[in-house]
Amino acid sequence: MRRRRAASDTMITKINVTPIIDVALVLVTILLVTAPMLSIAEVPVDLPVAHTREAEDERNVSITRGSNGELAVDKQVVTAETLRALLRAKLAVPGNEDVLVVVRADSGTPWVEVKRLLGDARAAGAKRLAVATRQRTEGP
């Protein structure tokens, strides 16, 4: 009995794009996970605990004050003297007029310092201000 040959003699002329799509989706996922981490300075901060967590998904400018007193605006480390000028420059960029300015301060930072940072942001032209907190993980 003679076996029939399957149609394996035909050449494959199309590119299989499934592996390319898989790799592209993995890269997009990695980008979405790591992108929020790139906009915050690496100053050590222990945020205070709060009941609510808002404005997390908005585009914002972050002022960070570390436990050692180090200041940063987004990823750029600054001094107290240059803070207002840098904030004013960031808020002057077209489209940033109503951007949310978030103050991230260590939980051990005196309230007077946080209040000073909020005042500096307001003096630089910030219209919307927020203080970053850590979401409470256990019950009240």
- pLDDT tens for each residue of 16-44: 889 999 999 999 999 888 877 776 677 77
Give the whole-number percent of the chain exceeding pLDDT 70: 81
Enclosing H/E stretch for 77? strand 76-78
CA distances from 61 to 12, 35, 112, 136, 137 (A): 53, 15, 21, 23, 26
Residue 120: pLDDT over 70: yes
Question: What is d(CA 100, CA 50) in angstroms, rounded to the nearest whole number?
Answer: 19
The CA distances from residue 46 to 6, 57, 59, 117, 136, in Å, are 67, 21, 22, 17, 13
Q: Which residue bears the tokens 């690496």?
A: 42
- pLDDT at residue 8 in the model: 63
What is the pTM assigned to this prediction? Answer: 0.57
pLDDT of residue 106: 85
Q: What is the pLDDT of residue 91?
A: 87
Q: φ, ψ for residue 135 (rounded to 5)?
A: -75, 135
User: What pLDDT is attached to residue 20?
Assistant: 92
Report whether pLDDT(51) > 60.
Answer: no
Amino acid 57: pLDDT? 47
What's the rounded mean pLDDT across residues 89-109? 85
Tell me the angle at which helices 83-92 and 111-123 cross, rounded to the nearest 10 degrees: 40
Can you give the pLDDT at residue 55?
Answer: 47
